[in-house]
């Protein structure tokens, strides 16, 4: 009897794909000021992304690492750029922090995230939204000064 029960459990584990339980029909409830919050669909349909995003990431990893092919559609960096949230200061909140996009779903489905042992948890090259806004206003201010100077001095400026 014990052997039969053991075989049944092993058969269930082997033959029922883990993607079957990855989200069910439950949607995401997390919305925290990310680009993705304003979209109606990800790079694939939402249903497909819920259940198969890890397959896209593995495939993309193999294409990038083994063949040197880099594309944005299924890249982890693109996922992070779109799904990362920002706090009230405009700073990116690590995507795998408690209550954030990746962490929330992975805790619900009891799946460990190992991507971020190597990969960045916030978009690279973006300090924060406030600094980007300040940089733009600084550029605008300097541009205005240059235009004013050229208007005052005409084409004779040396």
Percent of the chain with pLDDT over 70: 74
Question: Is 92 or 22 the better-scoring residue by pLDDT?
Answer: 92
Q: Give mean pLDDT, residues 122-132.
A: 62
Q: Give mean pLDDT, residues 21-36.
A: 57
Q: Cα(83)–Cα(78) distance, rounded to whole angstroms? A: 9
pLDDT in tens, 91-123: 889 988 888 888 888 888 888 888 888 888 898
Q: Cα(124)–Cα(65) distance, rounded to whole angstroms? A: 19
Q: What is the CA radius of gyration of the chain?
A: 23
**Does the structure show a pLDDT above 60 at 30?**
no
């Amino acid at each position: 009897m014990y052997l039969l029960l053991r075989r049944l459990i092993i058969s269930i584990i082997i033959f029922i794909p883990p993607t079957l339980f990855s989200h069910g029909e439950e949607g995401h409830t997390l919305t925290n000021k990310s680009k993705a919050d304003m979209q109606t669909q990800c790079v694939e349909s939402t249903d497909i992304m819920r259940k198969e995003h890890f397959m896209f990431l593995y495939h993309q990893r193999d294409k990038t690492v083994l063949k040197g092919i880099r594309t944005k559609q299924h890249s982890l960096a693109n996922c992070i750029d779109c799904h990362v949230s920002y706090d009230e200061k405009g700073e990116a909140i690590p995507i795998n922090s408690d209550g954030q996009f990746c962490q929330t779903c992975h805790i619900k489905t009891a799946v460990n995230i190992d991507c971020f042992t190597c990969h960045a948890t916030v978009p690279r090259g973006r300090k924060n939204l406030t600094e980007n806004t300040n940089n733009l206003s600084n550029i605008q201010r300097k541009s205005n000064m240059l235009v004013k100077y050229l208007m005052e001095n005409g084409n004779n400026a040396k």
